[in-house]
Amino acid sequence: MNGNTFGTIFRITTWGESHGPALGAIVDGCPSGIKLGTQDFIPDMTRRQGGNANSATPRKEKDLVQIESGVFQGITTGTPIALRIVNENTKSEDYAAYADLPRPGHADLTTIAKHHHRDPRGGGRSSARETAARVAAAVIAKKILQHFGIELCGFVARIGDLPIPLDAAKQLSISDLKKVTAENSLFLPLSEPASGDWIKLVTEAKASQDSLGGNIACMIYGMPSGIGEPLFDKLNALLAHGLMSLPAAVACEIGAGREASFQTGSAIRDPIGVSDGNLKVQGKKHGGLLGGMTTGEPIFLSVDFHAPTSIPQEIQTASMKTLQTETISVQGRHDSTPLPRAVPMVEAMVAITLVDALCRAGRVPEKLLP
């Protein structure tokens, strides 16, 4: 029981079902002194909905985040910040048809095994809708990171079996990476062919009533060195915990990454040199982490997501009432690929994890004065 809290000092607790009246997050451990208003949430909430946060004319805003506590006169007070998002568009009148038919590839059957009774509307608590609360909470985490000059940028690194040239992306400066991803939040135009191929892939998947998975990568810049808590709470481990808690996450890599496991020891070491009177790792092969602690260099990570299993193609299930097998087709307003929308979700778990790690290292005071 009780897996709805993440973090130790900077700590978020989320609640809410897909088709309930609302959902939200309590952010506890946020320092006082941070400017925070409802407008701050719009860009990432828009990105999560698949919209273009940088477009001049954003569509009618949805998922407006209400701040119900912890902020006075537009500034955080240090008390828990309650964020609440009303579920407006809950077409659940027809859930009854599916209530007794667990959807293959979903959490339906395991939720029944765990709790017996459940809210079947739209996947209930197991819907990806819950990530709205994570993304909202992370807006606050990102503001704290910004105070310390830490920035992060997520992007789609692969759809299906078509990757971008990742090595090139890793070498970009934060401003270049942000520029390139901001121009088009859906497809990173690092590699024109790849981007074009992605559109083709997604179009084909949709046409065949199917869906695609892929990989989201994220770069972190500006972390001070020495952050992370060996042995069990190495920064790698904390990041992996957060990332693998995202819906449909099946694998992740942190720092030097999976590629490093194919190489020899001599190929993955960066030498140490002296810079401005301090010893410093010279190179980026190590991926920003050594021994589970930050080196001060950019940190790389990526997460693999499986394709959505909510597709119109028919599949066999069985009724919990009659114990007879039936064939279902999961209709709905589902994406052919969730990848672009998953970018802010990945950033969310990263941002929250980083702030908590800074807190545990005693780097975040209770009041952040300008």
Closest to its own copies by CB, 51 vs 304, is 304
Interaction of residue 366 with its own copies, rule CB under 8 A:
yes
| Footprint (CB under 8 A) of its own copies, residues 305-364 | 305-311, 313, 315-318, 320, 323-325, 359-364
Residues that contact its own copies, how many (by CB under 8 A): 162
Interaction of residue 370 with its own copies, rule CB under 8 A:
no
| Footprint (CB under 8 A) of its own copies, residues 125-144 | 125-126, 130
Q: What would you measure as the largest C-alpha separation in the chain, in angstroms?
A: 74
Structure tokens given for 287: 């991926």
Segment lying near its own copies (by CB under 8 A), choices 135-143, 164-172, 188-196, 300-308: 300-308
| Footprint (CB under 8 A) of its own copies, residues 243-272 | 243-245, 247, 249-258, 260-272
Could you tell me which residues come within 8 angstroms of residue 283 by beta carbon, excluding any fewer than 6 positions away?
Answer: 270, 271
Shortest distance (Å) from residue 319 CB to its own copies: 8
Could you tell me which residues come within 8 angstroms of residue 193 by beta carbon, excluding any fewer than 6 positions away?
Answer: none
Nearest CA to 370 out of 143, 174, 153 is that of 143
| Footprint (CB under 8 A) of its own copies, residues 168-207 | 205
| Footprint (CB under 8 A) of its own copies, residues 28-57 | 28-33
Q: How far apart are CA 364 and CA 9, in angstroms?
A: 10
Closest to its own copies by CB, 51 vs 84, is 84
Nearest CA to 242 out of 128, 154, 356 is that of 356
Shortest distance (Å) from residue 41 CB to its own copies: 16
Shortest distance (Å) from residue 60 CB to its own copies: 24
Q: How far apart are CA 165 and CA 146, in angstroms?
A: 28
Count other C-beta atoms under 10 Å from residue 293's C-beta. 19
Q: How far apart are CA 344 and CA 284, in angstroms?
A: 25
Contact yes or no for 156/339 (Cβ under 8 A) = yes
Shortest distance (Å) from residue 31 CB to its own copies: 7
Could you tell me which residues come within 8 angstroms of residue 240 by beta carbon, excluding any fewer than 6 positions away?
Answer: 252, 254
Segment lying near its own copies (by CB under 8 A), choices 51-59, 146-154, 165-173, 226-234: 226-234
| Footprint (CB under 8 A) of its own copies, residues 61-120 | 66, 68-70, 72, 75-82, 102, 104-120
